[in-house]
Structure 1
Amino acid sequence: MSIKFGMIGGGMMGEALLSRLVVQGIYLPDQMLVSDPQEKRRDFLAGQYRVQVTGQNRAAADASEVLFLAIKPQIFAAVSKELESETRHALVISILAGTPLETLETAFPGQPVIRAMPNTPAAVGAGITAIAPGQHAQPHHLDQARQILETVGEVVEVPESMMDAVTGLSGSGPGYVALMVEALADGGVAAGLPRAIALKLALQTVRGTAQLLQEEGIHPGELKDRVTSPGGTTIAGIAQLEKSGFRSAIIEAVKAAWMRSQELGGKR
């Protein structure tokens, strides 16, 4: 059977997508070819998902429908050099942080290209991916990209000018949330809770709050006001967060990641 879906880079994000594509039947395993330099990783992916594997990037790039780039942006120049001198027509979907459409389209002349930024909750099908189409991408290419990326969560379309900001917020955001969960649990331990109980309470508090905000469609400030009774415990805690610059720290973290994404794309 011919290879329809090629992937260069079989890391965590690539694996998350592979697993969902297989489970949801978007592609059959023998229609998918994953290129990765590590033999151990190739063996794992082949054994776990029954997909085809190779150490040759060119073979994955020759897929007939989609080429999915899931490598580190620092090695893109070397990988793209391997793929020169062939005419291809497959849709290219790139999740390389900071790598602009202009760079991608230079490497894949004439091919439709879509730049995407998913995040790590994609591993459990709860991610969100922002996409920005290149100049050769047509509506049916966007539909195809959405079908693929919706297997790991929600998809939103944004102008490419916003992609670095997306990277700073949702792309890097799981790291900030994980740090907050850890800090909440540490606070519980400091207040006398056993570690396992503190972590469970912290995790479900974050998960439930996000679900409540999403399902009721309310502004975070409204929910905060609901749970802060006069002279109560929550307002005491919030006052301390404000004193410690919690809000400012999160804003600055997003901005720092946004600027780093721009640096990776050669904009700074």
Structure 2
Amino acid sequence: MDNNTKIAIIGCGNLGLSIANGLLSTEGFDGKRLIVTKRHPESLFYLESQGVTVLADNKEAVKDADFVILGVKPYNIQPILQEIKPFLKKDKQVIASLAAGITLQAIKNELEPGTTVFRVMPNIAADIKESITCICGEGFDQKTEEAIKAIFNSVGISITIEEHLMEAATVLGACGTAFVLRFMRAMAQGGIQIGFDAKTANKIVTQTVKGAAELIIQKGIHPEAAIDKVTTPKGSTIKGLNEMEHHGFSSAMVRGVVASYEDIKK
């Protein structure tokens, strides 16, 4: 990502703010390169101390931006695009939408022909630079792809996928964060029942989940292979796992993933 690249985040809600925080915490990133907007921007004024331009005017925000990130709700994509279209320079600006379910074609229909458009799905962990961001686009060159990935690599890691998988990516990467957190809450509740206070149970669970994820990432192994290493014959681990499976643990998780996917696809 060029050190002079200017980025505008239109509709800087929870996800947009996570991206902003991730960028601002990246070594060498100058806050003066970032513009954020919100209908009522007062809650974002504290970012100005880091050089960020905070506006309520979307039209003003996009004028000099190289990358325009749309952080608005899906139902607001069309009116926002219509609002900013007269102020965009199609040969110089890239539009990246975070809105789930809004296709590339739907976005392009609102813009001048030839405008470079991406769909991007990060998650809330962008706030701590641990997001997995899935990206798809059409008609872009390698330099532009590298630039958009560089923006989101600054808040975690990014991968390029085909558009037909974007809804699935939303479920695994974004909804999935909530699924994991609900599992963690349940595990901590179990810890309290067997004797720990809430604070200690939460600390153990949090580090256990972090360690399990790092084990898979660093060793590059399948989760089941790691499970095999900690399940001994007639041991307490396999007994607990089997009890959860008898009550539909894996099935419930799969059903939850599919339910979220079917809802997004409506």
Cα distance change of structure 1 residues 87 and 7 upon mapping to structure 2, 3 Å threshold:
closer
Q: Is the 8 A contact 2:7 2:35 kept in 1?
A: yes
Matched, 1:171 2:159: no
Deviations 1:224-263 (Å, cap 9, x if unpaired)?
A: 1111111111111101111111111111111122122223
Q: Is the 1:112–1:138 Cα contact (8 Å) retained in structure 2?
A: no
Percent identity over the alignment is 28
Distance in structure 1 (CA, Å) of the matches to 2:88 and 2:22 = 30
Residue 167 of structure 1 contacts residue 257 of structure 1 at CA under 8 Å; is this kept in 2? no
Q: Distance in 2 between matches of 1:39 and 1:217?
A: 43
Q: Secondary structure at the match of 1:193?
A: coil
> Structure 1 unaligned runs (5+)?
264-268
State the partner residue of 1:70: 71
Residue aligning to 2:60? 59
Structure 1 counterpart SS, 2:154: helix
User: 2: CA distance between counterparts of 1:102 and 1:178?
Assistant: 34
Secondary structure of 2:35's counterpart equals strand
Question: Is 2:112 the counterpart of 1:111?
Answer: no
Distance 1:59 1:103 in 2: 24
User: Which residue in the other structure is 2:38 paired with?
Assistant: 36
Indicate whether 1:203 and 2:223 are aligned. Answer: no
Which residue of 2 is the match for residue 217 of structure 1? 220
1:20 aligned to which of 19, 22, 33? 22
Letter in 1 for 2:67: V
CA RMSD of aligned residues (A): 1.8
Aligned length: 260
User: Are 1:100 and 2:103 matched, yes or no?
Assistant: yes
1:193 aligns with 2:169: no
Q: CA deviation at 1:26?
A: 6.2
Match of 2:158? Answer: 155
Q: Is the 8 A contact 2:71 2:97 kept in 1?
A: yes
- Partner amino acid, structure 2, of 1:140: K
Q: What CA distance in whole angstroms lies between the structure 1 residues aligned with 2:5 and 2:34? A: 6
Q: Closer, same or farther in 2 for the Cα pair 1:26/1:61, shift >3 Å?
A: farther
Matched-pair contact (CA < 8 Å) for 1:3–1:33: no
**AA in 1 matched with 2:55:** T
1:266 corresponds in structure 2 to none
Q: State which of 124, 127, 147 in structure 1 corresponds to 2:128.
A: 124
Superimposed CA distance per residue, residues 70-116 of structure 1 (whole angstroms, 9 cap, x where no aligned partner): 11112222222212444522011111111111111112222101111
* TM-score (structure 1 length as normaliser): 0.91
Query: Structure 2: which 5+ residue stretches go unaligned?
Result: none
- Alpha-carbon distance between aligned partners in 1 of 2:144 and 2:31, rounded to the nearest angstrom: 22
Amino acid at match of 2:7: F
Residues 26-58 of structure 1, C-alpha deviation per residue, up to 9 Å, x if partnerless? 6532232211111322313324x3201111111
Report the residue type matching 1:18 in the other structure. Answer: A
